[in-house]
């Protein structure tokens, strides 16, 4: 019994440390006037929500939000279609299948950060700098997600596929009518992972966007900090607005979410 008490105490201390930054962020976001007052108050004094209104006037928040949503939607759609097709192809027997798998696995060893200079030059040659497609293009297919689809398709009973073939269904129809309806967890994982990677992506948009009109939310945040300094609670209200939707979705679907993130941990 004493042992359990000790565990709870340790975990409560850890939880407080882990939650403190969240609390400090929220507190600052609803603090009025001078956030530099010393000593800072642990509880918000005269809490108000003006900062959240200010965000809309200080920066083109709707524009950033719109750009982030468009790029993420392109990335998610691309991932679903391309990864499902590639994952399905890898479950079929063909000459060179092994080498394709080896090629894909070795690509996972090349981190995106090691490609930025040529990736920028390639995108410039394609004339896609400062465009939605250019922002989404490198994220359109992910190796980890291809293998998640492949594993899911491999688990579909052979007899079902053979029956569909005897009925005269082509490969495309088998994928759409047999495989995908039986792979909803893989589809969900694909959506969650590709959305997060694209939504949180910072380095790539930083490199290839030129105009403020094409900037996404993470760039907006960084820009806010460097142009306005951190002199106003509005910056923290902005951070709350960016983080809140994702956190709510996470808290509602956390078990599926954690599973998805750990499967896709290696980021293809």
Site residues (CB under 8 A) for another protein, limited to 5-44:
7-8, 10-11, 14-15, 18-22, 24-25, 28, 35-40
Go through the chain and tell me how many residues it has. Answer: 268
Cβ-based nearer residue to another protein, 73 or 120: 120
Which residues lie closer than 8 Å to 62 by C-beta, 6 or more apart?
Answer: 56
Distance of alpha carbon 243 from alpha carbon 165, whole angstroms: 47
147 is a contact residue toward another protein (CB under 8 A): yes
Q: Which is nearer to another protein, 56 or 97 (CB)?
A: 97
Q: Tell me which residue of 141, 112, 101, 93 sits closest to 208, measured CA to CA.
A: 112
E runs forming strands in 141-260 = none
Q: Find the binder of another protein among 45, 69, 102, 103 (CB under 8 A).
A: 103
Q: What tokens appear for 222 in the block?
A: 């960084």
Distance (Å) of CA 93 to CA 61, 89, 162, 179, 181: 50, 8, 14, 16, 22
Q: Contact between 168 and another protein (CB under 8 A)?
A: no
* Cβ–Cβ < 8 Å for 179, 153: yes
| Residues 197/201/207/209 CA torsion (nearest 10 deg) | 100
Yes or no: say if 68 and 199 are a contact pair by the CB < 8 Å rule.
Answer: yes
Which residue, 69 or 114, is less far from another protein as judged by CB?
114
Does the footprint of another protein cover residue 89 (CB under 8 A)? yes
Least separation in angstroms between CB 187 and another protein: 16
178 lies in the site for another protein, by CB under 8 A:
no
Chain positions 190 to 249 lying near another protein, rule: CB under 8 A, are 196, 199-200, 202-203, 206-207, 217-218, 221-222, 225, 230, 235-236, 239, 242-243, 246-247
In the complex, the smallest distance separating the C-beta of residue 57 from another protein, rounded to whole angstroms, is 19
- The smaller minimum CB distance to another protein, of residues 16 and 160, is found at 16
Question: With binding defined as CB under 8 A, does residue 154 bind another protein?
Answer: no
Comparing CB distances to another protein, the nearer of 128 and 182 is 128
Directed axis angle between helix 2-29 and helix 233-252, to 10°? 130
Q: How far apart are CA 221 and CA 236, in angstroms?
A: 10
Residue 72 touching another protein (CB under 8 A): no
179 is a site residue for another protein (CB under 8 A): no
What residues contact 198, with CB distance under 8 A and at least 6 apart? Answer: 71, 72, 75, 76, 136, 139
Judged by CB under 8 A, how many residues of this single chain contact another protein?
89
Does the protein bind another protein through residue 161 (CB under 8 A)?
no
Please identify which residue in 67, 72, 141, 183 interacts with another protein, judged by CB under 8 A: 141
Q: Does 129 bind another protein (CB under 8 A)?
A: no
When the beta carbons of 14 and 160 are compared against another protein, the nearer one is: 14
Name which position in 59, 143, 178, 179 contacts another protein (CB under 8 A). 143
């Amino acid at each position: 019994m004493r042992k359990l008490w000790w565990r709870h105490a340790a975990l409560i201390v850890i939880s407080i440390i882990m939650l403190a930054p969240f609390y400090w962020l929220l507190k600052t976001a609803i603090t009025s006037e001078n956030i530099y007052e010393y000593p800072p108050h642990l509880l918000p004094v005269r809490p108000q929500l003006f900062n959240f209104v200010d965000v809309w006037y200080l920066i083109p928040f709707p524009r950033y939000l719109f750009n982030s949503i468009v790029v993420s939607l392109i990335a998610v759609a691309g991932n679903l279609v391309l990864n499902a097709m590639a994952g399905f192809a890898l479950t079929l027997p063909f000459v060179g299948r092994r080498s394709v798998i080896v090629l894909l696995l070795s690509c996972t060893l090349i981190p995106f950060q090691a490609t930025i200079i040529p990736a920028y030059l390639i995108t410039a040659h394609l004339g896609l700098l400062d465009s939605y497609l250019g922002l989404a293009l490198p994220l359109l297919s992910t190796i980890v997600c291809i293998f998640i689809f492949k594993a899911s398709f491999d688990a579909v009973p052979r007899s079902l596929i053979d029956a569909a073939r005897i009925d005269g269904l082509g490969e495309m129809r088998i994928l759409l009518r047999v495989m995908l309806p039986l792979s909803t967890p893989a589809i969900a994982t694909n959506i969650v992972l590709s959305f997060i990677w694209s939504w949180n992506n910072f380095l790539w948009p930083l490199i290839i966007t030129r105009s403020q009109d094409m900037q996404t939310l993470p760039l907006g945040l960084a820009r806010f900090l460097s142009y306005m300094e951190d002199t106003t609670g509005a910056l923290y209200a902005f951070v709350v607005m960016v983080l809140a939707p994702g956190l709510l979705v996470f808290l509602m679907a956390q078990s599926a979410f954690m599973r998805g993130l750990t499967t896709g941990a290696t980021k293809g």
